[in-house]
A = this chain, B = another copy of it.
């Protein structure tokens, strides 16, 4: 009998499927189950054994994404630092993840639990925005929802520009933070 600590007996197949699905659906959201199985190097039957249907797999992917993002953010954030510093660290931690999870932007997740967790992530960003405002880094008259939307978009835009080679990976996080806080005009205090 296997240890109670590893609920999945042979995780290789499952992991291969998850990886293949992420890789494949990033380029083609309509890729079929057969293609995913082929790309994962497993039989289509095996895929159905692990994931009942498309939505099931998609939900699992979304939850993995959310979990990994939470971990990355938690590891990067230093709550004793200034809010601006936290913002910068968050950009650094999350932008590289865009590579793995950009496809979720086009997919629509039906699962309630997943969407709830996503909303919770946005809420946490909202809290950070509140701190940014309190700190004076963000103007109080700007709607918080607008700032949150900008942060969200900046992450994907930054990843996209890095992925297409138009912006250096090392610059992305700083560029994103600068864009949000100071805009792209000439800096008054260099």
Contacts and interface: CB of A to CB of B under 8 A. Distances in A.
30 contacts: A30-B30, A136-B186, A137-B185, A138-B186, A139-B185, A139-B186, A139-B187, A142-B175, A142-B184, A145-B161, A146-B161, A146-B166, A146-B167, A146-B184, A147-B184, A149-B160, A149-B166, A153-B157, A178-B183, A179-B180, A179-B183, A180-B183, A180-B184, A181-B184, A181-B185, A182-B182, A182-B183, A183-B184, A183-B185, A188-B189
Nearest to A152: B157
Interface residues of A, number: 34
A79 interface: no
Interface string A146-185: 1101100110110011000011000000010011111111
Contacts of A147: 184
A143 interface: yes
A106 interface: yes
A74 B136 CA distance: 39
Given A161-B149, A167-B146, A183 B186 contact: no
Contact of A146 (B137, B175, B183): B175
Contacts of A136: 186
B180 A182 contact: no
Given A145-B161, A183-B185, 12 more contacts: A30-B30, A142-B175, A143-B161, A145-B167, A146-B161, A146-B167, A149-B157, A150-B157, A150-B184, A153-B154, A178-B183, A188-B189
